Chains A and B, each alone.
Chain A
Amino acid sequence: MGREKLFNAAVLLVMLAVPLLAWQMDEPFIITLATKVAILALAGVGLNIALGLGGLVSLGHAAFFGIGGYAMGILASHAQNYEPLFAWPFLFEGSNQMPLIWLVAVLASAAAALVIGALSLRTSGVYFIMITLAFGQMLYYFAISWSAYGGEDGLSIWVRNEMPGVNTLDPIQFFAVAFVLLSLTLWFAARLAKSGFGLALSAARQSEERVETVGLAPFKLRLMAFVISGAITGLAGALFADLNRFVSPTMLSWHTSGEIMIFVILGGVGRLYGPVVGAAVYILLEHLLGGISEYWQIFLGLLLLGMVLFARGGLIGALLGREVAHD
């Protein structure tokens, strides 16, 4: 087992041990924080497929995070209010079942990623950044003006959605749900990175010409990566909304996109577990610095700035050395 694998296993263990300990000590707030870390890490793992593997600097991933959130909000609000979502071609009354909500969140954000990706991947470089940012903002304003689902105020759900066999109201059980989904996604992302698709996508990041010359189309590879990436971030959005029992346009704002990107960068771009470490450190900072100063984001800004200018490998890079492992 290489150092990075050991390190990754340790990260997962800590992620599991902290809330279990908190459960023993009856500290539900810490369990909720750990759940938040797991969910935000999941969003980051999604972005990392586009950003780390594909080199696609998307500043619009809040769109998918928010779509996932609204998928939860819309389905659950119809279910709780007994107002059918639609009556044709069959009667659908919304749902408070997590698996169905996740499915809808994944499909909806994948569809959005397909459209946004197909348009923005026609360009590259700064254009791509600006266009993903702009489309994200478009959905943000749309949500604000969409009064049917709360507009600017957002949408609250009274009770957390249900899942067969799990009491989702119990913090430790809901954490377990988020943790299992995160672990499965990490496993999937690892397989993806080592697959032929991952090889070709990574090659397209390094040399577009090279991939074309061997007869593979970079556009298709990137679009597929963007869709997978958006779908995972959408799933995280649905979980995040369920954690807060609330969804609002803030989930779609470009600051959210920036934050998801910070998770990835803090940990280390292209590192499988980068977003997990990044999200954990971010939440930790938020609570440590946030306790000291109301203006803690100044320190976050300085930290990020210092990291970009002087320590480009992220935290994992600083701990394990710069080289990203290949095997």
Chain B
Amino acid sequence: MMIVALTKERTPMSLILILEQVLNGLQFGVMLFLMAAGLTLVFGVMGLINLAHGALYMVGAFAAAAVAGWTGSFVLALMASLAAAAAAGALVEVTVIRRLYDRDHLDQVLATFALILIFSEGTRWLFGSFPLFLDVPSYLSGPVMLPGGIQYPLYRLAIIVIGLVVGAGLFWLIARTRIGVQIRAGEADREMIAALGVDISKLYTLVFALGAALAGLAGALVGAIQSVQVGMGEPVLILAFVVIVIGGIGSIKGALVGALLVGLTDTLGGVFLPRLFALLMEPASAASLGASLASMLIYILMAAVLLVRPSGLFGGSA
């Protein structure tokens, strides 16, 4: 998974370690939110399950890596990721996705799975199988000292801030703007919004491109921590599904809460479960059992939410 243990161990279980891991969890969660927000909007407004959302994440990362390679500018790279993913999203919506709104979920699954194959192999064909690297710009690299004496990588902190700002912007867009009103109306009743005189196919393309842009941005931001490679979007996609199942389909608020829950659970579980087991058994098997269990933790969380609230924490009826 996408957690990288950042810090060398000093005193085990120290407060500083816990705080660092909480920040890591937040950073992971914020990225998951960018992915899940687009997915859940597309579910909510168009009733479509889009497996190719992870491909758009990958497109964003590759666009950023390519542009950073040409220009050396990280800001331009991020803008390229937004633009490329939005354009890819709009293109796919117009050519394929809009034929799927009235189809059953099986058709949607198959067609978007086919899109993954096309995107992945196409990218491999264009860029080759070797991972690309997107460097963190110098003004964002290195650690920063936080209150309380915590040293934390500036770039990760920046990711958290960017993610939260984009998230706030999204809430504002949906709550306060005309497009937001149309999106919410579209969630409630497709015919009504057509009756209001809104060009529904334009709105759908816009929503899809918006979701794609958010995924692309997430891909670029994460791409600078990890390598940029084909297939990088898929594990994140499935985690975003877990986020949506926990948060409830169509709910942006649910996506935020679900993403932070998953991000924190996964990060903290991965670090602390093996240590917890180490208190009870010998180190080798504690590490292995702890790691196995930690890898399953978010799915267990999902199962628990399902048992209590089958339609998710913020969902309507399933």
A contacts, CB < 8 Å to B:
51, 57, 59, 119-120, 122-127, 129-131, 133-135, 137-138, 141-142, 144-148, 254, 258, 261-262, 265, 269, 295-298, 300-302, 304-305, 307-309, 312
Contacts and interface: CB of A to CB of B under 8 A. Distances in A.
A302 B106 contact: no
B34 interface: no
B292 A145 contact: yes
25 contacts: A51-B106, A57-B105, A122-B307, A122-B310, A123-B318, A125-B318, A126-B43, A126-B249, A131-B245, A131-B306, A134-B245, A138-B295, A138-B296, A141-B295, A142-B295, A144-B295, A145-B292, A261-B109, A262-B110, A298-B125, A300-B114, A301-B121, A302-B118, A305-B96, A308-B110
A134 B114 contact: no
B115 interface: yes
A142 B113 contact: no
Given A122-B310, A126-B43, A127-B245, 17 more contacts: A119-B303, A122-B318, A123-B306, A130-B241, A133-B241, A134-B238, A134-B302, A135-B303, A142-B295, A142-B296, A258-B113, A265-B110, A295-B122, A304-B111, A305-B96, A308-B107, A308-B110
A297 B105 contact: no
A148 B121 contact: no
Contact of B318 (A127, A265, A309): A127
Contacts of B1: 141
B118 A298 contact: yes
Given A119-B307, A142-B295, A269 B105 contact: no
Contact of B115 (A126, A138, A295, A301): A301
A305 B299 contact: no
A146 B234 CA distance: 21
Contacts of B103: 308
B311 interface: yes
A120 to B, nearest CB: 8
A272 B231 CA distance: 33
Given A130-B241, A134-B238, A144-B295, A124 B318 contact: yes
A133 to B, nearest CB: 6
A-B complex: 3 closest residue pairs judged by Cβ atoms: A301-B117, A138-B299, A301-B118
B306 A119 contact: yes
A249 B307 CA distance: 28
B252 interface: no
A129 to B, nearest CB: 6
A89 B27 CA distance: 48
B99 A309 contact: yes
A141 to B, nearest CB: 4
A74 B96 CA distance: 44
Interface in B231-262: 234-235, 238, 241-242, 244-245, 249
B65 interface: no
A126 B249 CA distance: 9
B214 interface: no
Contact of B105 (A120, A125, A254, A295): A125
B182 interface: no
A59 B302 CA distance: 16
A35 B152 CA distance: 55
Contacts of A126: 43, 49, 105, 249
B107 A312 contact: yes
Given A301-B115, A304-B114, A145 B109 contact: no
B291 interface: yes
A289 B238 CA distance: 29
Interface string B197-235: 000000000000000000000000000000000000011
A123 B310 CA distance: 6
B43 A146 contact: no
Given A131-B245, A133-B238, A297-B117, A145 B295 contact: yes
Nearest to B241: A130
Nearest to A126: B49
Contacts of A304: 110-111, 113-114, 117
B288 interface: yes
B105 A129 contact: yes
A123 B307 CA distance: 10
A269 B96 CA distance: 21
B265 interface: no
A227 B310 CA distance: 21
B116 interface: yes
A59 B238 CA distance: 11
